[in-house]
Structure 1
Amino acid sequence: MLKIAIQAKGRLNEESMSLLADAGISAASGSRKLISKAKGFPMEILYLRDDDIPQAVAMGVADIGIVGLNEVAEKGEKVDEVMSLGFGACRISIAVPRETEYTDATWLNGRRVATSYPHILAKYFADNNISAEIHEIAGSVEIAPTVGMADAIFDIVSSGGTLIQNGLREVEQVFFSEAVLIATPSLPDEKLAEIDKLKFRLRSILDSRDMKYVLMNLPRTAVDEAVKILPGMKSPTLLPLTQPDWCSLHVVIPESELWEKIELLKNIGAEDILILNLENIIR
């Protein structure tokens, strides 16, 4: 049986549990217990602080874990990055007070920078030949310049709203992160086989996200042109209609291309277009 560590509470917890649920795996909420047995897959779920997950996986306390790539990089534990999970996207950036006359990264020389990610920041300073003092803070990093604890901060940015509220502006984007599945190195073959099964389920969910299933009626004379517009995953599916000059065409389209393609299809005579959400894509 696999043991998986996920964040006990917060956004990554919610999105991790949602992904597992979409893959047919359910368990009790982490707010009620520290460990629970999953239903729908041979797995136990450990609910931990996000910054404890890399160590737990490296030690083999958990076989796998879902955690932000930023925590993996910061802790420096020996774990295998198995797959990216497509959620929890953020960046870690340097921000300075809004009125600061910041030019480039050399401005940081001789300054004090507050952060909860000292190892990632130290690597950035070393890579860019910057000599600055790193002041480690466990929380509320964004208030450090206001209270005189630092000249700048190095912290997670999602929308940037928190920076604006605290009179800061982002000046350097240093590290880009998202949720990843990590694993203990050198697991036995039977556990690797279980991880492959889990990856298969998760990949079917991730592949279906941001994709739409589109059905339409189309004049047979327009099929060749429609195929050029919609190559599909291999090629569009074509079905006959009782009306001999018409057919039904089915295809999967990335959501980002949907409306552009729909306009082109309408122009060549497509009618009665249906757009459906996908739950899974099994390749």
Structure 2
Amino acid sequence: MAPTETPPPPTPTFLKLSYPAPRVLLIRMDRPSALNAMSTAAQWEMDAVWKWFDEEALLSVAVITGTGRAFSAGADLKEWNSSMSSDADPGSRMGNAPAFTPLSRRRGKKPVIAAVNGLAMGGGCEFVVNCDLVVAAADARFALPEVRRGIAAIGGALPRLIRTVGLQRASEFALTGRDATAQEMEMWGVVNKVVPRERVVQEAVRYAEMIARNSPDAIVCTRAGLRQGWEVASVEGAVECTLEREWAELQRGENMLEGLKAFAEKREPRWKGSRL
């Protein structure tokens, strides 16, 4: 049985879920024959899993990785091409799906760590840019090759890259469509740590465990403050937004009282599930 209050949504075709440590969810994209590219059905699966993860009180952080030699090649371009045929329903086109790019545009409440085991291309690279921490295999490669296919990286990576790496580097990367190495992405600040491929999931889980030891409510509140600072132009505006929402909820929860009490009593805190 999963160590959760509610059962996870069924994920039979694309995702495999496991629990490598307390309060940690490991999501493995498992479509290696297609470089873990996401069909429309796969996008719906991931959308359902992220919604469940954010509401599941006994989980604090997730790690996502791929199977085989790829993290993810992004959207399934063969399916996308078929959906663009002249006799196809325009409303059914992959790019119009409500669950399109469910991680690259995810805001959510809880942190997600990318364990990039191999190729991260297109939407797969957009996933990485929006993750809270990134651990990459030494031989992983990243690219936004959409411009070479007549499309554009519309899943949120472009403005996020600007904030992370700056205009000139983001322009070079996105307008040329070229590959970048894990070491280059680490230098640019997209990747936290580069490790041998066989250690990439282990290292990501290690980070997840460090996060999961903390107050579930404080994790949600802290991440909200970080995200507001990343996405909102005004620093003070971001602070005020977090104070009005997540900080106000944090103060009403039991975990804040428990953390302070445990400190005063010189013991480890006994956290309850997050209700933020």
Whether these two folds match at TM > 0.5 is no
Structure possessing the higher relative contact order (Cα contacts under 8 Å, 6 or more residues apart): 1
More strand by share: 1
**TM-score normalised to the size of structure 1?**
0.27
